[in-house]
Structure 1
Amino acid sequence: MSITYPWFLLSLVTLGVPVLIHLFELRRPQRLAFTNVGFIREVKLISAKQRKLKHIIVLLARIGCLFFLILAFAQPFIPASKEQKTTGSAIAVLIDNSPSMQARGNNEQSVFDDAVEQAQGLPNAFVNNTSFLLQEGPKSILNASAYQAALKQLTISGQARSLKSAIAQTNFSRSRIAQTFIISDFQKNAFSPQFLRGVDSTKDVLLVPIASQEAANVYVDSIALDDAFVRSGNNISLKIRVRNGGNALAKDVQVKLFIAEQQATVYRATIEAGKTSTSVVQVRLTENGLRKCRVEVEDFPVTFDNTYYFTLQPSPQIKVLGIGNTTAALEQLYGNEPLFAFTASQPQSTNYRSLATANLVVLQELPRVDASLRESLTRALQQGTSIVIVPPAGAVGHDTYNQLFRELGIGVVQWEERSSGAPELQEMATPSPQNPFFKDVFAAQNRQPIMPKAAPVLRWSRSGSDVLQMRDGSGYLAGFSNGQAAVYLFSAPFNTTYSDFTSHVLFVPVMYRLAMQSYRSDQQIAYRLNQRAVAFTLPQSVLQKADQVFKLTKDSLSFIPAQRIQAGVLRFDVPSGMTEPGFYALEQNGKKLATLAFNFDKRESELAQYSADDLRKMIGPDQPNIHVYDPAKGGSVASQYRAERVGKPLWRYCLWISLAFLLLEVLTIRAKPKVQANRPAVAA
């Protein structure tokens, strides 16, 4: 046993006070007055032996009460098994406030509330002048009362810091910090043993896992469109994928889909733990405006991820610009489909500014490509416009095309030597049904399809993707990726002398797919709150305004994110204050530009977590500065820490013993002694 304040033991000299009082009481005479002789006959005599024993008990009770009271002030304790580090005078505390902490704990309250309770008790494990640093609160050193007040202000956040960054920060924390408590549920998909490898060995890291109840947790894993183009008035196929991220069977869970505020469909699903269920539902947008949509899952007791928000909006027309000798087939193909906005022009009359606004530029059989057109095409490609090149039959402008190929990043392209007479047409190879370019193009059939024929005038050595090939393995249509856009190169002209491709049934789906792949929409149907950056293409009318400050609003909340504009695309970081899922309006000077849907990170819905024993196995014997405390085994973290690091305090026991001696004294004084009655006196 050790004494915290040994100088208090000097007060033991006061034990002589009750002894002196006792001796003085023995020497003081006692006088009894009697009124008559009859009363004397009723007096009950107390023996001297009984009176002496009572005085001794009272004396010992007073000495014991005073002794243990002095000992309580001296604060004795049993020394700890481990030495407490004193290199820092402040204690850092990190509480995981990610959405997964809303799961129900073993004491019927949320895991987050359990974590806060454990953190509030930590000041009891240290001396009164200990300072604290709350990592998710104010970034300053706090005393115990300010620290506990800051704990009450903590809330769940969709942008909570990851455990990886939290553990890594312990290496860079200020020198006054010697110990860091990390209180979390330690999800398996958010925590890895590698996170602990780089922890500074001079600083203590104390892991406190808070366990949650075993339960099912059904959430929306993803929502995908079968077709990237949403058309008003047409059926839209939505793939809704739900997953059970819990550790129990989810039986007969109801899933509802809402388009705006109208329920579109409802179904039920039974999902085993760790499994998924995908359903395809048909919806239809009757108007052209954006629709706020959501999927609701009736799941209990984990409810923070029961709603998934997303948006649907009919796609705008795809702008296709044809330059050169555009054929009637091409004009009819794009001109008769409302999905496309087709414009045909000649090189000398082309507005080069329109190249940057087009989704697809078809350069068809131009005899030569002048320098200004090459420069405009290169600039348009860099800004995201895809380009289709159909080579000419003549040999006049080969050099200009070679220069264009180099500037577009295609590489070395060889021109076939032109022979006298009509070119010999060769049949193309049947494309693979597994090629994603031809998804849903080829129906199931038993016989070999008849393929178009062509006489290539170009050959290339490499390509990003071969869409169509000749039977000899040479390419007919190949794609060359360039950033967000692509260059598609045909090896033969479209005129009937060199190809019958424009009259083949494959012409329509191929050209449609080229145009559709050129369409890009930076706006997604849903985003995550912890997403690093969001991109949004701005209309020209917005780019011309002087006020270039954009903000996100939801109800009465307003956030101005860090933002920048590059090539007509607004890129902004999700503000740290955005912690709640839902719909946020992107505004400029009070005008709404778009509505964006934000959700929690789906990884938060996976409830599998590491136990205290799992963490100890991960740490092993090589990292003695990392410790694990398990609140589930009885006792708070503060009490476990004190027992291990500070020792077991005994002052409370001393105080109770002192009170027990005081009670003994009171009972002894109030106790009635046993007496014997005198025999009656006999008259002489």
Structure 2
Amino acid sequence: MNFLYPGFLFALLAVSIPIIIHLFNFRKFKRIYFSNVAFLKEVKEQNSSREKLKNLLILAARILAITFLVLAFARPFINSTEKANQTSGNIVSIYLDNSYSMDAVNKEGSLLDEAKRRAKEIVKNYQLNDKFQLLTNDFEGKHQRLLNPDEFVQAVDEVKISAGSRNLQQVINRQQGVFTGAANRFSYVISDFQKNFAGDAPIKKEQQTQLTLLKLSANELPNLSVDSVWFLSPVHQAGASEKIVVRLRNFGNEDAKNVPLKLSINGQQKAIGSVNVAANAHAIDTLSYSGLSLGWQKAVLSIKDFPLTFDDELYFTFNVNASQEVLSINGSKTAKYIEALFNADPYFKLTSVSENNINYTSFANYSLIVLNGLNEPSTGLAQSLKTYVSNGGTVVIFPSTFTDQSVFSAFLNAIGLPPVNNVVTEATKVSQIELKHPLFKGVFETLPKNIDLPSVNRYFIYTDNSKVAKEPLLQLPAGKTYLARYPVSGGQVFLSATGLLEEEGNLSKHPLFVPLMYKIAFESAKDQPLSYTIAKDNVITLPAIKLGANQSLKLIGDGFDVIPDVSNQNGNTLLFVADQIKKSGFYQVKKSDSTLAVVAFNDNRSESNMVYDDQNTLEEKFGTQKILFIDAKKQNISSAIAEKNNGSELWKLCLILSLIFIAAEVILIRFFKPQMHK
């Protein structure tokens, strides 16, 4: 048995006090004179031997009470079989969760303040020459430096709530990186342990690291979050009326009624609403607005919800273009159909060229390319289209059924599409339309029972290939493809079985042709994501940006100005922002003085779910790996840590025994009376 504070053992000298009292407390008898010796018969004789026994028992109780009280202060413990080698020193890594969920409160105040106190309490259980690492969700470079106790306490005081959000495995992996040499390794994770923090996958740690999970508990709080938004229209036009869909989530156990909802664009209120959200559920609402101008739009969707407010606003951006660029590559006879279609709407800017006069380098300028009845599609065109599609482009192919099948099959193979099997010249009619496909969403107000579908006189039958993904849109009898969508690389190709000539069919004059082509054109518009997530999305993807030799891109926000790393891949420009963005809001991507794009960043919504893992759930994630779990609400942290580091502590037992012997002394004095006889 050893002692944490052996210096208190000098207080055992205090046992001499009851011994001295016992030795010098001799009973003095008083002489009484009697006038008549007959009274002596009434004097009771005291049994001296029983009196001595009582005094000895009282003395023993006092000595033992003082002894065990001193031992309790000296903190005795029995060495653990896993006791660390103290001569090697200790490296202690303490993760302090400073995510938004730690802004919740309990009777100790905010969870972050309690976490700071607990971190300092942990440090007090180690020696002055031990080294400490402070780790937070920010994962800053300075957190990889080892600190002495005073530096650690100062660093803890500087920790603030952060928008960063990490998972438990990331934290443990980061902690392992600071351990070096033969020093004893101790890891502490101080958190409320939200379900999203631990995750669902098993967690691994190094065997030689002693890991302790310290759980803080918050009061149960209601919370409502703006979860996400999306548009019903694939494109945005100046002055047009639009609708946006909003999803709210209620993480509380009570229904949220008449929650005020507001949409602001460029600082102007565009729409308001009121939403009811059931407990532990989500609700969807639609807002209508109009009056957009050209250019980038900064939108904010907001609600009012207390006390947790970090997820009450959702920032997003989108661009209103003046036009959409479309390229039509035509054969000898079919240009008029596509030209009549897209020239009817000033929003579309159509460039129409002959198959013999193609500028392959300009493909990246168009959101949609239409191949219209080509007679001799070349391999060079096929390679350029393959690159265009892999960069996210959209291609529509209306073949000429009069062309050489082998030439056209080779062209399709080069793009990654199935080749032609044969040509059919028998007149037939489209038998099936996939109305549930997203492409036809909004085309029909009601689903018609006997819809009039296009007829066809000549068409190709393509070879079925299970390796090529296909989404049928229109089908001929016996399941033969009339029009299908093929996802290829990062883009898509719409392949028709026939062309637009009247000899081939009536698609070009059918009422379905206009909405079908417009929907494909709208879907081909390349929009960047509405928003990004702080500490999660570290790469901003933009359409290709050309930079000069001495030019660079800047990312500028509210009090934020940084030059990100830039890379061009697959026709896109990637901006690597790492963990530089710490605050939700709008950020401009600038090239010199021109604004190329505006992006929005939001706080991670995973912090909104105030549901926590318990001890059993956390221990199951570690399997057979040994960890120590401390519930700050139920356990004394110093005692738990000391027992973990030093073995089984006996101070509680010593204190209990001291109280028992004090009680025994009281009982002896009050109730043990030597027997008297006459």
Query: Does the pair score TM above 0.5?
Result: yes
State which of 360, 368, 384 in structure 1 corresponds to 2:368: 360
1:373 aligns with 2:374: no
Residues 177-186 or 4-13, more deviating: 4-13
Structure 2: distance between partners of 1:375 and 1:353: 12
State which of 69, 74, 77 in structure 2 corresponds to 1:76: 74
Contact 1:305 1:605 survives alignment (8 Å): yes
1:588 aligns with 2:588: no
The alpha carbon displacement at 1:8 in A equals 8.8
State which of 570, 573, 576 in structure 1 corresponds to 2:576: 573
Go from structure 1 to structure 2 and tell me whether the alpha carbon gap of 1:639 and 1:270 turns closer, same or farther (over 3 Å shift). farther
State which of 607, 610, 627 in structure 1 corresponds to 2:613: 610
- Secondary structure of the structure 2 residue equivalent to 1:189: helix
AA in 2 matched with 1:128: L
The alpha carbon displacement at 1:12 in A equals 9.0
Structure 1: distance between partners of 2:275 and 2:95: 38
AA in 2 matched with 1:91: V
Residues 576-585 or 229-238, more deviating: 576-585
- Secondary structure of the structure 2 residue equivalent to 1:437: helix
Structure 1: distance between partners of 2:547 and 2:154: 49
Q: Give the fraction of aligned pairs with identical amino acids, expressed as a percent.
A: 26
Structure 2: distance between partners of 1:194 and 1:375: 43
Which deviations, in whole Å up to 9, do the C-alpha atoms of 1:332-375 show, x marking residues without a partner?
A: 11111123111212123333322332222222222212344344
Equivalence for 1:628: 629
Structure 2: distance between partners of 1:243 and 1:587: 35
State which of 432, 435, 450 in structure 2 corresponds to 1:433: 435
AA in 2 matched with 1:426: T
The alpha carbon displacement at 1:649 in A equals 6.7
Contact 1:89 1:130 survives alignment (8 Å): yes
1:128 aligns with 2:128: yes
The alpha carbon displacement at 1:618 in A equals 5.8
Equivalence for 2:119: 119
Go from structure 1 to structure 2 and tell me whether the alpha carbon gap of 1:10 and 1:168 turns closer, same or farther (over 3 Å shift). closer
Go from structure 1 to structure 2 and tell me whether the alpha carbon gap of 1:252 and 1:85 turns closer, same or farther (over 3 Å shift). farther
Structure 1: distance between partners of 2:205 and 2:219: 30
- Secondary structure of the structure 2 residue equivalent to 1:348: coil
The alpha carbon displacement at 1:177 in A equals 4.9
The alpha carbon displacement at 1:446 in A equals 5.7
AA in 1 matched with 2:119: A
The alpha carbon displacement at 1:225 in A equals 0.3
Go from structure 1 to structure 2 and tell me whether the alpha carbon gap of 1:398 and 1:544 turns closer, same or farther (over 3 Å shift). farther
Equivalence for 1:195: 202
Structure 2: distance between partners of 1:415 and 1:133: 71
Q: Which runs of 4+ in 1 moved over 6 A?
A: 7-16
AA in 1 matched with 2:504: Y
Q: How many aligned positions are there?
A: 599
Residues 641-650 or 233-242, more deviating: 641-650
Which deviations, in whole Å up to 9, do the C-alpha atoms of 1:29-81 show, x marking residues without a partner?
A: xxxxxxxxxxxxxxxxxxxxxxxxxxxxxxx9xxx9xx99xx79x97223168
Residues 158-167 or 271-280, more deviating: 158-167
Equivalence for 2:93: 92
The alpha carbon displacement at 1:634 in A equals 5.4
Structure 2: distance between partners of 1:581 and 1:406: 47
1:215 aligns with 2:217: no
Matches within 5 A, 1:402-551: 402-416=409-423, 423-444=425-446, 447-460=449-462, 461-462=464-465, 464-521=470-527, 523-538=528-543, 542-551=545-554
Contact 2:192 2:612 survives alignment (8 Å): yes
1:336 aligns with 2:336: no
State which of 597, 601, 609 in structure 2 corresponds to 1:598: 601
Go from structure 1 to structure 2 and tell me whether the alpha carbon gap of 1:216 and 1:501 turns closer, same or farther (over 3 Å shift). same
Residues 212-221 or 198-207, more deviating: 198-207
Residues 543-552 or 406-415, more deviating: 543-552
The alpha carbon displacement at 1:563 in A equals 2.8
The alpha carbon displacement at 1:645 in A equals 4.3
Structure 2: distance between partners of 1:248 and 1:343: 57
- Secondary structure of the structure 2 residue equivalent to 1:141: coil
Go from structure 1 to structure 2 and tell me whether the alpha carbon gap of 1:4 and 1:120 turns closer, same or farther (over 3 Å shift). closer
State which of 164, 167, 174 in structure 1 corresponds to 2:172: 167
Contact 2:379 2:414 survives alignment (8 Å): no
Contact 2:378 2:411 survives alignment (8 Å): no
AA in 1 matched with 2:546: L
Contact 2:586 2:600 survives alignment (8 Å): yes
Which deviations, in whole Å up to 9, do the C-alpha atoms of 1:307-353 show, x marking residues without a partner?
A: 11112331452221112233433211111112311121212333332
Go from structure 1 to structure 2 and tell me whether the alpha carbon gap of 1:614 and 1:387 turns closer, same or farther (over 3 Å shift). closer
Go from structure 1 to structure 2 and tell me whether the alpha carbon gap of 1:118 and 1:595 turns closer, same or farther (over 3 Å shift). same
- Secondary structure of the structure 1 residue equivalent to 2:329: strand
Go from structure 1 to structure 2 and tell me whether the alpha carbon gap of 1:381 and 1:217 turns closer, same or farther (over 3 Å shift). same
The alpha carbon displacement at 1:256 in A equals 2.0
Go from structure 1 to structure 2 and tell me whether the alpha carbon gap of 1:167 and 1:232 turns closer, same or farther (over 3 Å shift). same
- Secondary structure of the structure 2 residue equivalent to 1:237: strand
Equivalence for 2:664: none
State which of 287, 294, 318 in structure 2 corresponds to 1:281: 287
Name structure 1 gaps, 5 residues minimum.
Answer: 20-59, 418-422, 654-684
The alpha carbon displacement at 1:139 in A equals 0.9
The alpha carbon displacement at 1:214 in A equals 0.9
The alpha carbon displacement at 1:543 in A equals 0.4
The alpha carbon displacement at 1:5 in A equals 6.7
Go from structure 1 to structure 2 and tell me whether the alpha carbon gap of 1:538 and 1:374 turns closer, same or farther (over 3 Å shift). closer
State which of 295, 299, 302 in structure 1 corresponds to 2:308: 302
Go from structure 1 to structure 2 and tell me whether the alpha carbon gap of 1:218 and 1:353 turns closer, same or farther (over 3 Å shift). same
Equivalence for 2:559: 556
- Secondary structure of the structure 2 residue equivalent to 1:576: coil
Residues 219-228 or 169-178, more deviating: 169-178
1:185 aligns with 2:192: yes
- Secondary structure of the structure 1 residue equivalent to 2:642: helix
AA in 2 matched with 1:641: I
The alpha carbon displacement at 1:413 in A equals 2.0
Contact 1:326 1:344 survives alignment (8 Å): no
Go from structure 1 to structure 2 and tell me whether the alpha carbon gap of 1:474 and 1:106 turns closer, same or farther (over 3 Å shift). same
Matches within 5 A, 1:253-292: 253-292=259-298
The alpha carbon displacement at 1:135 in A equals 2.5
Contact 1:534 1:572 survives alignment (8 Å): yes
Structure 2: distance between partners of 1:262 and 1:7: 71
Contact 2:337 2:500 survives alignment (8 Å): no
Equivalence for 1:141: 146
Instruction: State the TM-score, normalized to the length of structure 2.
Output: 0.80
AA in 2 matched with 1:138: H
Contact 2:234 2:523 survives alignment (8 Å): no
The alpha carbon displacement at 1:15 in A equals 12
Equivalence for 2:640: 640
Contact 2:317 2:531 survives alignment (8 Å): yes
Contact 1:587 1:594 survives alignment (8 Å): yes
The alpha carbon displacement at 1:583 in A equals 1.1
Structure 2: distance between partners of 1:82 and 1:248: 48
- Secondary structure of the structure 1 residue equivalent to 2:364: helix
The alpha carbon displacement at 1:545 in A equals 2.0
Instruction: State the TM-score, normalized to the length of structure 1.
Output: 0.79
Equivalence for 2:661: none
State which of 387, 398, 406 in structure 2 corresponds to 1:399: 406
Equivalence for 2:397: 389
Which deviations, in whole Å up to 9, do the C-alpha atoms of 1:107-159 show, x marking residues without a partner?
A: 26322222122112212222333221113352122111111111122233323
Which deviations, in whole Å up to 9, do the C-alpha atoms of 1:556-605 show, x marking residues without a partner?
A: 22233333122442212333132211111222345432221100121111
- Secondary structure of the structure 2 residue equivalent to 1:472: helix
State which of 141, 146, 155 in structure 2 corresponds to 1:150: 155
- Secondary structure of the structure 2 residue equivalent to 1:121: helix
